[in-house]
Chain A
Amino acid sequence: MAQRLTLEQIAHVARLARLALSEQEMRQMEKHLNNLMAQFERLQELDTTGVEPTAHSFPVYNVFREDVVQPSLPQEEILANAPDQRDGCFTVPIIVEE
């Protein structure tokens, strides 16, 4: 599995991550990711057949609370940090052309 990530694959991952990278960043990423992947190969040495994965150290199951209305933050406070807003809404560029 010791395959190297190509620039093309890295561009695909950047697309998945919604991350615009410059050409220079792409080249740095190629070097960095491949170095790290080589480190990860070490884990393949281990036989983990039948070993349960641990997602959380102390998992808590079925966390319930009463379904009661709580005070929420005022709309203007929530919108105060938005880069752009109008009529009580977050504003984004046009997604669907008319």
Chain B
Amino acid sequence: MSGLHTLTIHEAYDLLRSGEITSRELTQAVLERIEAVEPKVRAYITLTPELAIQQAEEADRLREAGNGSDVLVGIPLAIKDNLCTRGVLTTCASKILQNFVPPYDAHVVERLRRRSAVFVGKTNMDEFAMGSSTENSAFFVTRNPWNLECVPGGSSGGSAAAVAADMCIASLGSDTGGSIRQPAALCGVVGMKPTYGRVSRYGLVAYASSLDQIGPITKDVTDCAILLNAICGKDHRDSTSVDVPVPDFTAALVPEVKGLRIGVPKEFFAQGVAPEVAEAVYRAIRLLEEMGAIAEETSLPYIEYGLACYYILAPAEASSNLARYDGVKYGWRTQELTGHIDMVEKTRGEGFGAEVKQRIMIGTYALSAGYYDAYYLKAQQVRTLIRRDFDRAFEQYDVLITPTSPTVAFRIGEKADDPLAMKLADVCTIPVNIAGLPALALPCGFQDGLPIGLQIIGKPWDEQTILRVAYAYEQATDWHRKKPAL
């Protein structure tokens, strides 16, 4: 059977279960695909082909023994390189962690491993997840499978590109201000940030702890629900993970939106949103209306302060989280040192890239004596205002639909020297992290051969309604079946 690498999780599961294919064949197909297209796309920092084959053979043995009924057994997955993988390099795309081999698995990795998934490698990203293009990787830039001159988005650009290029069946990313959804949109795949607290971040290298969330990047909505089932749930090692019931998310996959109330917040269609992108999203909303949903324009007036709010909160938290990189316990240490403080300063000066340094600096300043109230406290108060905007909207609507990214993928280098233009790439996704809400990016069209993604935002803990809307739209369209020519 050829083309196994193009399968989704649920398609592969059907073939594995019926005995038509083995996990070894499936994994081999993915590895051959990687060999063929990875030199062009460069989605992976580390590949673990031998390990993957071993895990696949183990999965096949499980299945033969009658213990392989789980949907994830023997499915080849890719993991973002800021999630700790026991015994496998985890770099965060940073020089400061270029030799770091974690002695333990992140909670989500542990859960996937327990279910006998196969790990093919660790994906490229913006250093410490700070960026929207993977151009901030200390190692290399990942290319968009739809146009190799363009960025894949970021920071989970490698995870999104690997899924879009069929170099894995599905992947995990992390999302602090849009880092799952924006690259998913730019690469034409499905990406979801669950509600803050849904997924334990134990073993996720911390960036901004009040915003970070782990989530799936997949080829379709069904796979998104399958991976959500695998990673959600309370874990005592992340005290912010919340003890709420985890439903079977695949039960939400019903193509039924009759009577569903959709809010269309106008602020998400301003601020530099390309007309083609806005039009594709409006078309998708009209299709949902034809299917029985009721859509209405609404307004969230404080959204325009989202970016400013985020660029205080996230760097402030990052400056604290990244204080641990001091050249003592792990990671890079400078070779030229005259004393302890000198060692720490030089280690950090040499080990961090430009964007990371800038965010550490802005965060340190915002938290420093005399400025805390004016910046950090103020941003937290504005956060409350943004949250209330969403609360009010959700009194009237079941979901909100917006663009995911204001534009399709931009050219490599185009925004690298314009930090503010780069930050605008996340203008539609950042408010969702600020309010801690769940949201999903879904393909809804193309502009000049590059994918456009819409964003469905839901109420806290209501991933199901998002999945239902996404599934209904996906079943009525065939964007998710389009593949880049590589």
Over the window 1-41 of chain A, the binary record of Cβ atoms lying under 8 Å from chain B Cβ atoms (1 yes, 0 no) is 10001000010011011111110010011001101100110
CB distance A20 to B346 under 8 Å?
yes
CB distance B329 to A81 under 8 Å?
yes
- Shortest 6 CB-CB distances between A and B: which pairs? A57-B436, A20-B349, A53-B380, A81-B330, A83-B333, A48-B381
| A42 CB to nearest B CB, Å | 5
List, in ascending order, chain A residues with CB within 8 A of B385's CB: 46, 48, 51
Given A19-B361, A48-B381, verify A80-B101 contact (CB < 8 Å): yes
CB distance B319 to A46 under 8 Å?
no
CB distance B307 to A81 under 8 Å?
no
CB distance A39 to B239 under 8 Å?
no
Does chain B have a CB within 8 A of A56?
yes
Given contacts A57-B434, A65-B236, 16 further A-B contacts (CB under 8 A): A14-B361, A16-B368, A33-B362, A43-B378, A46-B381, A54-B380, A56-B240, A57-B387, A57-B436, A58-B460, A60-B239, A60-B240, A81-B100, A81-B101, A82-B328, A93-B338
Which one of B345, B350, B377 has the greatest number of beta carbons of chain A within 10 Å?
A: B345
Given A19-B349, A19-B360, verify A73-B104 contact (CB < 8 Å): yes
Over the window 306-348 of chain B, the binary record of Cβ atoms lying under 8 Å from chain A Cβ atoms (1 yes, 0 no) is 0111011000000100010011111111000111111111101
CB neighbors of A among B100-132 (8 A): 100-101, 103-104
CB neighbors of B among A61-88 (8 A): 63, 65, 73, 77-78, 80-84
Bound state CA distance, A18 and B96, in angstroms? 14
List, in ascending order, chain B residues with CB within 8 A of A16's CB: 364, 368
Does chain A have a CB within 8 A of B268?
no
Which one of B210, B239, B362 has the greatest number of beta carbons of chain A within 10 Å?
A: B362
> A14: nearest residue on chain B (CB-CB)?
B361
> A45: nearest residue on chain B (CB-CB)?
B305
CB distance B361 to A1 under 8 Å?
no
Does chain A have a CB within 8 A of B384?
yes
CB distance A92 to B343 under 8 Å?
yes
Please pick, from A1, A5, A55, the residue contacting B210 in the complex, using a CB distance under 8 A. Answer: A55
List, in ascending order, chain B residues with CB within 8 A of A98's CB: none
List, in ascending order, chain A residues with CB within 8 A of B327's CB: 83
| B351 CB to nearest A CB, Å | 10
CB distance B383 to A81 under 8 Å?
no
Does chain A have a CB within 8 A of B196?
yes
List, in ascending order, chain B residues with CB within 8 A of A1's CB: 374
Given A19-B349, A20-B348, A60-B197, verify A95-B378 contact (CB < 8 Å): no
CB distance A32 to B380 under 8 Å?
no
Does chain A have a CB within 8 A of B300?
no
CB distance B103 to A32 under 8 Å?
no
Bound state CA distance, A28 and B419, in angstroms? 12
Bound state CA distance, A22 and B349, in angstroms? 8
Report the interface size for chain B: residues with CB under 8 A from the other chain: 72
CB distance A33 to B361 under 8 Å?
yes
CB distance A53 to B340 under 8 Å?
no
CB distance B333 to A84 under 8 Å?
yes
Bound state CA distance, A78 and B308, in angstroms? 39
CB distance A95 to B358 under 8 Å?
no
CB distance A32 to B358 under 8 Å?
yes
CB neighbors of A among B227-247 (8 A): 236, 239-240, 242
Please pick, from A17, A40, A58, A94, the residue contacting B242 in the complex, using a CB distance under 8 A. Answer: A58
CB neighbors of A among B402-456 (8 A): 419-420, 434-437
List, in ascending order, chain A residues with CB within 8 A of B195's CB: 58
Bound state CA distance, A5 and B340, in angstroms? 28
CB distance B340 to A92 under 8 Å?
yes
CB distance B329 to A40 under 8 Å?
no
> B209: nearest residue on chain A (CB-CB)?
A56
Given A5-B365, A13-B361, A43-B309, verify A20-B196 contact (CB < 8 Å): no
Does chain A have a CB within 8 A of B67?
no
CB distance A53 to B383 under 8 Å?
yes
> A39: nearest residue on chain B (CB-CB)?
B308
Does chain A have a CB within 8 A of B379?
yes
